[in-house]
Structure 1
Amino acid sequence: MNKTVDKGSRIAKIKELLGYYKEITETVREPFIILDQALEVVTANAAFYRKFKVKKKDTVGRRIYELGNNQWDAPELRALLENILPKHKVLNNYAVTHNFPDLGHKTILLNARQVDSKQLILLAMEDVTAQLKLESDTAEMTTNLVEQRDKLQRLNDAKDEFISLASHQLRTPATAVRQTIGMLTQGYVGNLSKEQSRILDIAYASSVRQLEIIEDLLRVAKVDAGKVYLETVPCDVVKIIDTVIKSQIILLNNRHQKVHFNKSQKKVIAAVDQKLFSMVIENLLDNASKYSPDKGQITIQIEQNDEQTIISVQDTGVGLRKSDLSKLFKKFSRVDNPYSISVGGTGLGLYWVKKVVNLHQGSVEVTSKLHVGSTFTVKIPTELS
């Protein structure tokens, strides 16, 4: 009698648990089934029927291996349910890869748990095929991108090395040519006619320009190779700018251009590499002069707060279109304007300026209006970290 009561209580408890588990399964978005000890399906949720294209009448009461024309009869699943799970009671993220007749090649992630003294098995399923493919494709794409990046880096390094070597090889003979022409113009080999002097002056100017191009290439090759190292010391930036203006005063006077230097204070001390920062200001002033008309005006302004030192160089030149602003700081980039042919240039000056300012942990920006002028603004930390 007691055995009958115990058995009846046991059955009632299982039914109660089963009803509870059924409610849970229907709230789960992923496919979920409950198996009994014989691995027959006790119940399954709607997601299972949708995903695996089976009907309830063909599922409940049948062994899992028989479902969907035996499509679940996979060696990995048998190993899980018959050998692994009985020993562990709980199993998480067990991957089963199988060719399902109605679904194709799939990888299903299984999470299983035995409950009620191993009377029932809860089995949750997640199709991770698309996720694994995405991960595989992403890994392959990443590998390809890394290979392409490395290839481009090697090409870029080879290009920089070529430019550096070629420039070094060109500098020596170009210097000799300039010096020789200079000696001729100074009368070291005798007096020259006006026509001879005129031709030699043209040749000398061309040789000077050639050396300027070579020096530009060398400077850029060095900064691109990471071989420019700052020697920063507290410097009076006002004094640096004054010195640069004085060094270019002859060229500015020849163009009848005026430079106004607005100083908020007599001294502005900032941590800079004096030589390189002087060249930055020189490039910006030279750029403003070249692209401004005769009798144009250039305004340099400096101000400082606790965090930044800000220098702006404003001209009354040809100005730029908005669409051209992004090109300015790119290597070998030149913007077409009425002065671009007569001025010449390599398209490396502003690129180099930006690189050096960045080394100072600063930034350089430009605002411009066509036919009105441009303003270049350099911001550097007052103290380098």
Structure 2
Amino acid sequence: MLEIKMKLSTLKAIFNSMEQGVVFIDEENRISYANPSAERIRNIKLKEVLGQSILNCHPPETHQKILKIIEDLKSGKIKEHQKMNIQMVEGKFYDNTYSAVWGPRNKYLGIIVVTQEVTKRKKAEDELKEALKKLELANEELRHQDKKKDDFLSNVSHELKTPMISVIGYIGMILKEKVGPLTEQQRRFLEISYKNLLKLGKNIDDLLDLAELGIKKEGWKFEPVNLSDIILFSCQTVEPIAKEGQIQLELNLPQEEVMILGIEDKLNQLFDNLLINAIKYNRRGGKISVFLSQDNEFAFARIADTGIGISQQSLAEVFNRYFREKNKHLTNVKGLGIGLSLVQEIIKLHQGEIFIESELEKGTTFTLKLPRHLKK
């Protein structure tokens, strides 16, 4: 008997020293014990509430939920602890954890309720929810503005392209001397104009494609495509440009087909842009290596150049629209800075990923990962 009293005394001392509030309620839901922390948290005095219903210490709107928790634990319907977050004294918030207490022969003795203040956590959670709500509203506004910008770019690009095609056509006729002979100076001036108009046409096409990818989310027609054929065609397309800069183009393709589900013209555009980028930012006499491989799930394309490289600070921004790195070697490099943005959008369209590694003065490597099309 003495040993039992000592154990009870030790247990009471432990409860009394706890920061958490501890309340024990008997099988009739009456309070039979509360430690000092529970008295402080619940703003009660044990001698005043002893034998009273536990519901007297909670707001009326919580009574039904508390009774259900107690009944579920008492009946054995729920075995694990049950938690309930409520607002109590002076607007503070607490977590109440309810646990059933069972005696010998599985006799139900009551419920022990452990209470811990969580006001700071609750406040932080509420602030986070509010911040996330504001962020979502801001993102929605950004998406709306982005769509308006894409619509504007698309409309302006269309308006520019129609008269430009006409001008290119007429200059082409003049260069072919369809309307009469040209002097050497006239031909030289017209050829410069013609080349610049073609460059302008390429920029307008890129703007149109970028706008289309931003606006059109569905309705694309995907078909089985051999990625080797796509890469080979793009390499043949840019080969004359590479030769002008005395840049060696090395192609490493597997003998077997590398099939993906894709949009052929978009994939051609993707590799054209990456290869032209590798030429544009390479050195005279440099090298571009193109590799293609596959595993059981994915196709991997890698384009590595020996160019001027990209600074580590700029790596995170290279896929942003209109981004142009400030570099002493780039003073003569022209463009709108949308080529890599277009590449990334096309990769996303094909459910793929693109990775970039670069080191200044040594070169850049782009690695593409695209889901394979497995024949059934």
Query: Scaled by the length of structure 2, what TM-score is found?
Result: 0.73
**Which residue does 1:203 correspond to in 2?**
193
Distance in 2 (alpha carbons) for counterparts of 1:231 and 1:206: 34
- Check the 8 A contact 1:41/1:61 in 2, yes or no: no
**Which residue does 2:223 correspond to in 1?**
232
**Which residue does 1:189 correspond to in 2?**
179
Evaluate the alpha carbon distance shift between residue 288 and residue 53 of structure 1 in structure 2; reply closer, same or farther with a 3 A threshold: same
Tell me by how many angstroms 1:300 deviates.
2.0
**Which residue does 2:129 correspond to in 1?**
139
Task: Write out per-residue CA displacement over residues 157-182 of structure 1, whole angstroms, 9 at most, x where no aligned residue.
Answer: 11111111221122111212222222
Amino acid at match of 1:105: G
Tell me by how many angstroms 1:205 deviates.
2.1
Distance in 2 (alpha carbons) for counterparts of 1:321 and 1:160: 29
Distance in 1 (alpha carbons) for counterparts of 2:19 and 2:46: 19
SS of 2:91's equivalent in the other structure is strand
Which shows bigger deviation, 301-310 or 284-293? 301-310
SS of 2:270's equivalent in the other structure is helix
Distance in 1 (alpha carbons) for counterparts of 2:57 and 2:200: 76
1:343 aligns with 2:329: no
What is the percentage of aligned positions where both structures have the same residue? 25
SS of 1:343's equivalent in the other structure is coil
Amino acid at match of 2:288: I
1:367 aligns with 2:357: yes
Distance in 2 (alpha carbons) for counterparts of 1:158 and 1:250: 38
Structure with larger Rg: 1
Amino acid at match of 1:300: V
**Which residue does 1:162 correspond to in 2?**
152
- Check the 8 A contact 1:307/1:382 in 2, yes or no: yes
- Check the 8 A contact 2:304/2:366 in 1, yes or no: yes
Amino acid at match of 2:301: I
Match of 1:105 among 69, 91, 97: 91
Distance in 2 (alpha carbons) for counterparts of 1:373 and 1:94: 59
Amino acid at match of 1:302: L
Tell me by how many angstroms 1:218 deviates.
0.8
Match of 2:281 among 284, 291, 301: 291
Distance in 2 (alpha carbons) for counterparts of 1:42 and 1:196: 107
Evaluate the alpha carbon distance shift between residue 228 and residue 160 of structure 1 in structure 2; reply closer, same or farther with a 3 A threshold: farther
Task: Write out per-residue CA displacement over residues 89-136 of structure 1, whole angstroms, 9 at most, x where no aligned residue.
Answer: x999898756x6xxx4345677799xxxxxx99876554544543444
Match of 2:319 among 319, 325, 329: 329
Distance in 1 (alpha carbons) for counterparts of 2:85 and 2:228: 70
Tell me by how many angstroms 1:45 deviates.
1.2
Match of 1:48 among 30, 38, 41: 38
Evaluate the alpha carbon distance shift between residue 34 and residue 162 of structure 1 in structure 2; reply closer, same or farther with a 3 A threshold: same
Q: How many residues align?
A: 350
SS of 1:301's equivalent in the other structure is strand
Task: Write out per-residue CA displacement over residues 33-56 of structure 1, whole angstroms, 9 at most, x where no aligned residue.
Answer: 5799xxx997541323554789xx
Evaluate the alpha carbon distance shift between residue 144 and residue 182 of structure 1 in structure 2; reply closer, same or farther with a 3 A threshold: same
**Which residue does 1:247 correspond to in 2?**
237
Q: Give matches, 1:208-227, under 5 Å.
A: 208-225=198-215, 226-227=217-218
Aligned-residue RMSD, C-alpha: 4.5
1:313 aligns with 2:295: no
**Which residue does 1:67 correspond to in 2?**
none
Which shows bigger deviation, 352-361 or 165-174? 352-361
Evaluate the alpha carbon distance shift between residue 132 and residue 319 of structure 1 in structure 2; reply closer, same or farther with a 3 A threshold: closer
Tell me by how many angstroms 1:215 deviates.
0.5
1:303 aligns with 2:293: yes
Evaluate the alpha carbon distance shift between residue 359 and residue 32 of structure 1 in structure 2; reply closer, same or farther with a 3 A threshold: same
Evaluate the alpha carbon distance shift between residue 34 and residue 358 of structure 1 in structure 2; reply closer, same or farther with a 3 A threshold: closer
Distance in 1 (alpha carbons) for counterparts of 2:99 and 2:302: 69
- Check the 8 A contact 1:308/1:382 in 2, yes or no: yes
